Structure 1
Amino acid sequence: MSLVKLTIKGISYSQTQNGAYALILNEVDGERNLPIVIGAFEAQSIAIALEKEIKPPRPLTHDLFKNFADRFDIVVKQVIIHKLVDGVFFSSIICERDKIEEIIDARTSDAIALAIRFEAPIFTYKNILDKAGIYLKINPTEETTTNENTDDVLSTPEVFKSETTSNTKEDYQQFSLQELYNKLEQAVQNEDYEKAAKIRDEISKKES
């Protein structure tokens, strides 16, 4: 079976499954997307790994795994989403140490969180993408197929949304860039990464 390389398209709050998020993977040489429902903690861990401005003051679980692996010269070479059963994706982490390769089973959300930290490629098999891949609507004029679990899909992977942040009414437009940077640093120190991501988005708007 042939492998298809994937990239991370974005993360959105699932409007159909309370407390869950939709991680959207995009095939590199095609237009299909692979939506995967993940939990809030895993969504936060993936989003933080994608964020360049947010550096947690203490390592998260996946950061700890990365530090542990680095200490013992273990490298994650690639992640393969190898099975889909009843809507649940199964993945394998391909590791290497002293030129010896090992395959470790993992939840797909954990595997991807680690793949980002190791800058390892993500793959799936063509038959899985044929079965679960979808075409997302890019704009209202395009007639493409959508999936109800991928509503409000983000256009970039740097944005992290949650039910909490979507309901927050605080307006950051009134603050200067320096004030926003100060607030960003304070949010990171308080480990409030959802707030930090929202502030970061406002900084990006002001600097563009």
Structure 2
Amino acid sequence: MNLIELFVQGISYTHTQNSAYALLLSTVKTNRKLPIIIGAFEAQSIALAMEKDLVASRPLTHDLFKNFAESFSINVEKVIIHKLIDGVFYANVVCESFERQVILDARTSDAIALALRFKAPIFTYAHILEKAGITLDETEFMEDENESIDEINKEIDDILDNLSNKSTNPYANYSIEQLNELIEKAILDENYDEAAKIQEVINQKK
């Protein structure tokens, strides 16, 4: 399958989920966009990587990863968003060190934050764009087009809400208190896959 290159178009706050943001990726050759729900911390990290004039007072987690990797001659070659299941995107970080290539599984938001820091290209496949992509005007994220931004944000919200409704995460309707109890039990039982699902919902509710 041929890879389609993407670039980060911008980040928009989404009103459908608390403390959630829409990361908008755009194809290089078309006007097709790929919206991805990310948390506030990841949004901040990506925004800092996009703005050269903004520097965190202390290294963020992704900055630490980059410093650590470079200290051991590890480079991020590219990021591939390779799968979409129940509204959740899956990504691989392709690394290279001393002519050895290693592929690491990563959350898409983390993978993109690293790609920006390493100036590595971001790719996905056509079937993912067909399933979750949208087409928007080129006026989005322009500060002097408030009316257009409102319309675009509403469309992004609708898309993200639709993606969220497709999720089969059984913990979506639990309260924070219930989720905290469940995640503690899952960790005690060493059921880390289940703990990850619960943590995902906790992050969305914060």
**Counterpart residue identity of residue 26, structure 2:** N
1:63 is aligned to 2:72: no
Deviations 1:114-141 (A, max 9, x none): 0000000000011101111101144679
TM-score (norm 2): 0.68
Hey, what's the Cα distance between the residues in 2 that align with 1:149 and 1:101? 39
Q: Secondary structure at the match of 1:15?
A: coil
Hey, what's the Cα distance between the residues in 2 that align with 1:69 and 1:31? 34
Hey, what's the Cα distance between the residues in 1 that align with 2:82 and 2:62? 21
Work out whether residues 22 and 37 of structure 2, in 8 Å CA contact, stay in contact via their aligned partners in 1: yes
Partner of 1:104: 104
Hey, what's the Cα distance between the residues in 2 that align with 1:8 and 1:72? 28
Partner of 1:133: 133
Aligned length: 150
Work out whether residues 15 and 149 of structure 1, in 8 Å CA contact, stay in contact via their aligned partners in 2: no
Report % sequence identity: 58
Partner of 2:46: 46
Partner of 1:206: none
Hey, what's the Cα distance between the residues in 2 that align with 1:50 and 1:60? 14
Partner of 2:201: none
Deviations 1:163-201 (A, max 9, x none): xxxxxxxxxxxxxxxxxxxxxxxxxxxxxxxxxxxxxxx
Partner of 2:86: 86
**Counterpart residue identity of residue 120, structure 2:** A
Hey, what's the Cα distance between the residues in 1 that align with 2:2 and 2:104? 20
Q: Secondary structure at the match of 2:81?
A: strand
Partner of 1:186: none
Q: Secondary structure at the match of 2:135?
A: coil
Hey, what's the Cα distance between the residues in 1 that align with 2:14 and 2:117? 24
Work out whether residues 112 and 122 of structure 1, in 8 Å CA contact, stay in contact via their aligned partners in 2: yes
Residue 157 of structure 2, aligned match among 148, 151, 156: 148
Q: Secondary structure at the match of 1:59?
A: coil
**Counterpart residue identity of residue 28, structure 2:** V
Distance 1:50 1:96, change over 3 A: same
Hey, what's the Cα distance between the residues in 2 that align with 1:45 and 1:51? 10
**Counterpart residue identity of residue 106, structure 2:** A
C-alpha displacement at 1:110, in angstroms? 0.1
TM-score (norm 1): 0.68
**Counterpart residue identity of residue 148, structure 1:** D
**Counterpart residue identity of residue 45, structure 2:** S
Q: Please, which runs of 5 or more residues in structure 1 have no aligned partner?
A: 152-208
